[in-house]
Amino acid sequence: MSHSPLLSVRDLSKHFTIRSPFRGTTIGTVQAVNRVSFDIGEGETLGLVGESGCGKSTTGRLLLRLIEPDKGQVLYEDRNLLQLDAVELKKIRKSIQIVFQDPFSSLNPRMTVEEIVNEPLYVQGGLSRKEMRERAQALLDKVGLNSAHITRFPHEFSGGQRQRIGIARALAGEPRFIVCDEAVSALDVSVQAQVINLLKDLQEEFNLSYLFIAHDLSVVRHISDRVAVMYLGEVVEIARKDALYTAPRHPYTQALLAAIPVAHPRLRGKRARLGGEVSSALNPPPGCRFSQRCPIARDICRQEAPELRDMGERHQVACHFAEDTRAAAA
């Protein structure tokens, strides 16, 4: 594994301005993604978790410039994706792909599987019709679909199969990096496990890097090497998954983990629950954004936003009291 990461995100921000629908005056700013930084190594999976509205999907889309970021840097193979012009971006997009959540709306119902899987190849050009068909068949084989079904339409497949088509399409350009945006969330558990295994197999075979966005903490634990936790547009903790799940440092991570249902009825018991709900990302509070719900918040938390600090062994935490929470977690 090389020393410099494949993808390096620095201070990525996206703020949406909300205007009054009638007067056009600015009502406020939603800080959907605020100063997010992380690295993803070659062949590595970074899990990105958080509750709805925390900006995890927006982050995924910003990386691909499906939404244009306001500020920050996305270094991919040592080039800043945010400074590329349209031609260069098109070239590089081949190797950065995305798999979406909803296998029903992310495939065009009027295109055959072959057309869907080949679309990235059309766009890139340079292959004959025959080569493309062979390539599509090989891709379907790869994702565990019958390559004879290449002329079928999406509605003829089940949810799990459609998600496999989405994965085949992402693989068409021979990517090095794939954003999986809630890629298994809509699937039934028995099918979900199959797709998770498929993603792991493909990663091993092609040395892929994943940004795996999900709200299901157990799935993220299973598939990731490292995990980043987001709250209201900001990353509050990043760590290797074992460290994060066994010794979380940020009070929000601790609360999230405590909310996972128990694995066995005998393990039931009262656990600390997080009160309140996610506050609005519209005009967030000064200081730490979690301070309103945080059980250990003090005055400094309401005044000063904590920086993401490295606590050693690549464990980064954005909390003024990260040193104290270690003792509490242990």
Partner 1 sequence: MTRTDPILSIEGLSTSFTGDEGTVVAVDDVSFDVNEGEIVGLIGESGSGKSVTALGIIGLLPKDTARVTAKRIMFDGRDLTQASDRELRRLRGGSIGMVFQEPMSSLNPVLKIGDQLMEPIRIHERISRRAAFDRGVELLAKVGIPSPAQRMNDYPHQLSGGMRQRVMIAIALSCSPKLLLADEPTTALDVTIQAQLLDLLLEIQAETRMAIVLITHSMGVIAECADKVVVMYSGRIAEQGPVTEIFDRPGHPYTRGLMQCTPELTGNPRRLTTIPGSLPSLSALPPGCRFAPRCDLALDACRTGRPPMIGLGEKHASACIRATELVTRSMLPEGAEA
Nearest CA-CA partner of 53 in 69, 29, 37, 31: 31
Nearest approach in angstroms of CB 259 to partner 1 is 4
Torsions phi, psi for 157 (to 5 deg): -115, 155
H-only helix segments in 207-250: 217-223, 241-246
Alpha-carbon gap, residue 120 to 23, rounded angstroms: 42
> Site map for partner 1, 186-205, x if CB under 8 A?
--xxxxxxx-xx--x-----
- Binding segment toward partner 1, per CB under 8 A, in 68-76, 107-115, 183-191, 232-240: 183-191
**What are 214's two structure tokens?**
């999900």
With respect to partner 1, which residue has the nearer C-beta, 126 or 261? 261
SS3 319: coil
* Sole binder of partner 1 in the list 24, 125, 265, 312 (CB under 8 A): 265
Which one of residues 89, 92, 111, 274 is an interface residue with partner 1 (CB under 8 A)?
274
Of residues 140 through 169, those in contact with partner 1 by CB under 8 A are 158, 160-161
Q: Closer to partner 1 by CB, 54 or 318: give it.
A: 54
Contact between residue 210 and residue 202 where contact means Cβ atoms under 8 Å apart: no
Decide: helix, strand or coil at residue 88: helix
The single residue among 68, 78, 205, 277 that binds partner 1, judged by CB under 8 A, is: 277
Examine residue 18 and tell whether it contacts partner 1 (CB under 8 A). no
Contact between 21 and partner 1 by CB under 8 A: the answer reads no
Q: 51 in the Ramachandran plot: left (φ > 0), alpha (ψ -120 to 50) or beta? A: beta
Binding stretches for partner 1 (CB under 8 A): 51-52, 158, 160-161, 188-194, 196-197, 200, 215-219, 221-222, 255-256, 258-268, 273-275, 277-278
